[in-house]
C-alpha cells in the first residue's frame, strides 16, 4: 500500500451535509509533482513552529499547524510522518484534561454518574475517565470533570483498507484495517450499536467460541452495526493480514487500535463505508 496515496485520500476528505464524502486525486502514486524548494522551506518552518508550540505546551496550535501542512502540502516527501504526528497529538489532546472548543467543564451534582454523563454528552465513560485521570467509576458532588462533547464519525475506505476517524471536519487519526474478502464488506451508512469487551464469537455452524480461545477471530473488542448486526468493527488474531481484504465482511483492526477506538466511539456513532 502506498503511504503517499493514503495521505492524498485523507487530505481530500470533506463534509457535505450530514454525510462524509471522499474525493480521490486523479494522479497515481509516483506521479506527484515534487515540492519546490520554497514550498519545502515553508513546510520546514511550519513544522519547526509546531514543535516550538508543543515544547511550550500549546498542543492546539501545534495540531492546527500539522493539519495545515497536510492540507496545503500533500506532496511533501515526509507527509506520512506529519500525519503520524498529527494522529498522536490529536489522540493525546482528546484523552487529556486540556480545555478545547470541543469540551465542557461539568460540575458534578447529586444523581450524576459516569454513565449518566456519557449519555448526556454523547461520549463514553472510558473517555471521561481518561480525560480526568479517574481510577474508578466513583465521582463526587462538586467535582469538576472535563468532558468531550464533539461527536466522532468514522469513514472506511475499502479500496485502500484504511479507517479515518474524524470529529467535525478534522481528521483525528488514520488506521490500517482489513475488510471483506471478495469485496464483501457492505457499503453505506451505519451506526454503532452493540459494544462488547472480549466478545464471544457466535460463528455460523459451530458452538460459541469464547474470548480466551485462540480461534476467536473477533479479538479484544466488538462494535456491531445497528442496521446489519452481523457486521461490525472488531479486533483480530491475525494482525499479519491487516491491509488486505481478508475478513468475512467486517472491518478488522489490530487489538491496540480497536481498543483505542472503542474508548472513543459512543453508541450511535456514524460509520460510512465506501468502495
| Catalytic (active-site) positions | 234, 250
Residue 121 buriedness (CB in 10 A; 0-12 / 13-18 / 19+): buried
CA distance 138 to 247: 40
117, 130 contact by CB (below 8 A): no
- Characterize the bridge pairing of strands 270-274 and 152-157: parallel
Q: For the chain, how far is it from start to end, CA to CA, in angstroms?
A: 16
Burial class (CB in 10 A: 0-12, 13-18, 19+), 182: exposed
Task: Using the structure block, give the residue that is written with the C-alpha cell 459451530.
Answer: 206
Task: List, in order, residues 6 or more apart from 236 with CB less than 8 Å away.
Answer: 178, 217, 219, 242, 252, 253, 254, 255, 258
Number of Cα atoms under 13 Å in the Cβ half of residue 124: 19
Whole-number Å distance between alpha carbons of 272 and 262 = 17
Nearest to 35 by CA among 2, 4, 3: 4
The closest alpha carbon to 219, from 191, 245, 239, belongs to 239
Nearest alpha-carbon partner for 271 in 101, 151, 159: 151
Amino acid at each position: 500500500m502506498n503511504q503517499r496515496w493514503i495521505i492524498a485520500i485523507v487530505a481530500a476528505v470533506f463534509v457535505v451535509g450530514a454525510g462524509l464524502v471522499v474525493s480521490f486525486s486523479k494522479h497515481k502514486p509516483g506521479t506527484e509533482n515534487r515540492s519546490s524548494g520554497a514550498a519545502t522551506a515553508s513546510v520546514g518552518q511550519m513544522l519547526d513552529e509546531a514543535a516550538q508550540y508543543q515544547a511550550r505546551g500549546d498542543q492546539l496550535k501545534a495540531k492546527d499547524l500539522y493539519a495545515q501542512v497536510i492540507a496545503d502540502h500533500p506532496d511533501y516527501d515526509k507527509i506520512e510522518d506529519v500525519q503520524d504526528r498529527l494522529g498522536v497529538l490529536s489522540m493525546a489532546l482528546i484523552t487529556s484534561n486540556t480545555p478545547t472548543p470541543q469540551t465542557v467543564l461539568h460540575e458534578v451534582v447529586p444523581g450524576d454518574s459516569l454513565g449518566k454523563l456519557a449519555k448526556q454528552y454523547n461520549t463514553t465513560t472510558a473517555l471521561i475517565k481518561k480525560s480526568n485521570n479517574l481510577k474508578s467509576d466513583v465521582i463526587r458532588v462538586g467535582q469538576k470533570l472535563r468532558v468531550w462533547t464533539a461527536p466522532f464519525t468514522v469513514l472506511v475506505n475499502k479500496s485502500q483498507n484504511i479507517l479515518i476517524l474524524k470529529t467535525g471536519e478534522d481528521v483525528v487519526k488514520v488506521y490500517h484495517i482489513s475488510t471483506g474478502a471478495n469485496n464483501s464488506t457492505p457499503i453505506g451508512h451505519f451506526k454503532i450499536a452493540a459494544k462488547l469487551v472480549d466478545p464471544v464469537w457466535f460463528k455460523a455452524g459451530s458452538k460459541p467460541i469464547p474470548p480466551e480461545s485462540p480461534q476467536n477471530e473477533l479479538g479484544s473488542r466488538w462494535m456491531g452495526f445497528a442496521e446489519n448486526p452481523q457486521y461490525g468493527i472488531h479486533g483480530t488474531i491475525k494482525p499479519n493480514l491487516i491491509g488486505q481484504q481478508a475478513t468475512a465482511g467486517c472491518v478488522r483492526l489490530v487489538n491496540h487500535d480497536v481498543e483505542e477506538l472503542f474508548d472513543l466511539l459512543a453508541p450511535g456513532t456514524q460509520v460510512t463505508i465506501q468502495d
